[in-house]
Amino acid sequence: MRLTPRQQAVLDALRAEAAAQARPPTLVGLCALLGLRSPGSLHKHIRALIAAGLVEPLDPRHPGIRLIAQEPPADTLPFLGRIAAGRPIDALPQAETIQVPPHLRTAAPCYVLQVTGDSMCEAGILDGDYVVIEHRRSADNGAIVVALIRGEDTTLKRILQEPGQVTLFPANAALQPLHFTPQEVEIQGVLVGQMRAYR
């Protein structure tokens, strides 16, 4: 169903309130959010959103509407932002999903990050690629992992774990390995798939 601009504005206002973890607004509150004077003008738009299965009425004690949770399509994974294949940067949580073919993921929980930098270029992982990560807290030596360093920065590197030392190896001859104590590195996932757009 294609929404009208006003219906989309109502839906966007509800999503903004939900993202702020606010209580669902009443019709009067929704009017205030949209800059309208009267709830009467909202009724037809709200009825259309209810018919589309996007919102539902609340109980009589709280006269308003709320979003209906939408299940993401089965072929999507959470997209959690960017990760450095170079200097570590934060992987930022985002409320987005991205389509991933089934053969690029595993049956375990997975998520997607976009690569920034060229430190893994010799492993075929280029700036702008999307990598599919299986959520794990451990990895075999030689695996390419998402590593959280000192609880602050994330990076994508090949890992070697030895007694008293963890080494994160770039796949770029111009760069040096990174050495840490085991307490400084937390594995957050292992690379299981990769996607690239040629345009």
Nearest alpha carbon to residue 99 among 131, 129, 77: 77
CA atoms within 13 A on the CB side of 49: 26
38 is catalytic: no
Q: Do domains 5-67 and 76-195 have the same CATH topology?
A: no
Q: 20-34, 56-70, 140-154 — which one is most confidently predicted on average?
A: 140-154
pLDDT score for 65? 72
- SS3 state of residue 42: helix
* Domain 5-67 class in CATH: mainly alpha
Give the Cα separation of 70 and 39 in Å (integer).
26
Average pLDDT, integer, range 38-63: 74
Selecting among 41, 44, 138, 157, the annotated active-site residue is: 157
Helix (H) or strand (E) holding 12: helix 5-19
Selecting among 41, 44, 119, 138, the annotated active-site residue is: 119
Residue 25 DSSP code: P
Fold topology of 76-195: Umud Fragment, subunit A (2.10.109)
Give the residue carrying structure tokens 């930098």: 117
157 is catalytic: yes
Locate the domains of the chain by residue range.
5-67, 76-195
Total-model pTM: 0.62
* Cβ count within 10 A of residue 42: 20
